[in-house]
Amino acid sequence: MSEGVDGNAMYTVVAEDLTKYFKSGSISVKAVDNVSLRLPRGKLVALRGPSGCGKSTLLNLMGALDRPDSGSLVVDGTDDAHLKGQKEVAYRRRKVGFVFQMFNLMPHLSAIENVKLPMEFGAGAKDAALRARAAALLGRVGLPADRHNRRPAKLSGGEQQRVAIARALANDPPLILADEPTANLDSKTGALIIDLLRSLRGQERTVLIATHDETIAREADVVMEMKDGRLLADGQQPERIRV
């Protein structure tokens, strides 16, 4: 891909020949195999594929939770592939928001405290301001105010996922990465969560959902498909595959 970082203003993510191996003893498995893609800003993108095809690994690379073995990855103008130390931390804090299949909320914190948590890691705004913003985010994802001070164990699965989405939005990142966000929810709640994620996309924010659920793919603006670590629709032509 010839465009530089500055030349990709219309894409939130630009990946080129991204490769990631996993080693287990003497066996080396190519989890992500020369993936090149571009994710346009303001779109809901579905990354579809069977379990073990490399979707989560690709999301982890985009979220700087893991590092590629080769290739380049630029997210919102930042070279994600070679981040270290505080730059890596700042990237995770500012550029991406994660929504996990298992919600991964802090069990000892209330809903509002969970949402506030990523904001607390940044430079210090006053606690009241953070709390107000967290409450606003919870309101935006549709969690009733009387649930704000409940701990995750006292919330339903759908409510927990709403809290997780609000947490992902806490630092207003340009990229939301959702890894099987409805896998632990019933279909009705799952549909509500997808609607919520869909509503989050905007002019500056891209939402990437890894899923093997056909119904989610139908809701996406762009659908990409992975198999055996390779991207079948290579992302060179976004919106080419419109289900």
Partner 1 sequence: MRTITRAITALIRSPLRAGLLVGVLAVSVGLTLIMITVDGAFATRLDDIQARVGTSITVRPAGSFGGGFFDRGGDNNSGNANSGGANGGSTNGGGNTSSASSNQLTALADQDIGKVATISHVVSVSSLMTARYTGTGLESAVQPQRRANAPAATPAAGAGGFRRAVLVTGVDDPASLATLGVQNAQLTAGRTFNADEANANVAVLGQAMADHNALKVGDTFPINDMTFEVIGTYSTGTQFGDNSVFIPLATAQTVFSRPGEIDQAIVKADATSSVDQVAADIRQALGQDNVDVTTEASLVQSISAPISDAKDSSQVGMIAALVASAVIILFSVGLVARQRLKEIGILKAIGASSWHVIGQFGVETAVISLIAALVGALATFPLAQRVANGLISTPSTAGFGGPGGGGRGGPAAAAAATRVGGLLGSIDVAVSPEVFLYALAIAIGLALLATLVPAWYVARVKPAEVLRNE
List residues binding partner 1 (CB under 8 A). 56-57, 60, 63, 65-66, 86, 89, 92-94, 98, 100, 102, 104, 106-109, 113, 117-118, 120-122, 127, 167, 170-171
* Residue 47 C-beta: closest distance to partner 1, Å: 16
Shortest spacing between CB 177 and partner 1, in angstroms: 10
Residue whose CB is less far from partner 1, 45 or 61: 61
Q: Select 12 or 101, whichever has its Cβ closest to partner 1.
A: 101
Q: How far apart are CA 100 and CA 102, in angstroms?
A: 5
Distance between CA atoms of residues 138 and 159, nearest Å: 10
| Sheet (strand 96-99) strand order | 96-99, 175-179, 206-211, 44-48, 222-227, 230-231
Nearer to partner 1, 106 or 232 (CB): 106
- Give Cα 37 to chain centroid, integer Å: 16
Shorter beta-carbon distance to partner 1: residue 13 or 62:
62
The 3-state DSSP class for residue 152 equals: helix
User: Which is nearer to partner 1, 117 or 192 (by Cβ)?
Assistant: 117
Q: Which is nearer to partner 1, 43 or 148 (CB)?
A: 148
Least separation in angstroms between residue 218's CB and partner 1 is: 27
CB 46 within 8 A of CB 60: no
Tell me which residue of 58, 56, 188, 166 sits closest to 105, measured CA to CA: 166
User: At closest approach, how far in Å is the CB of 43 from partner 1?
Assistant: 23
* Tokens representing residue 99 in the block: 């929504």
Q: Which two tokens stand for residue 212?
A: 């093997």
Q: 234: which DSSP letter?
A: -
Asked if residues 45 and 222 have their Cβ atoms less than 8 Å apart, the reply is yes
**Cα–Cα distance, 69 to 199 (Å, whole number):** 34
- Shortest spacing between CB 123 and partner 1, in angstroms: 12
The distance of closest approach from Cβ of residue 118 to partner 1 in the complex, given in angstroms and rounded to an integer, is: 5
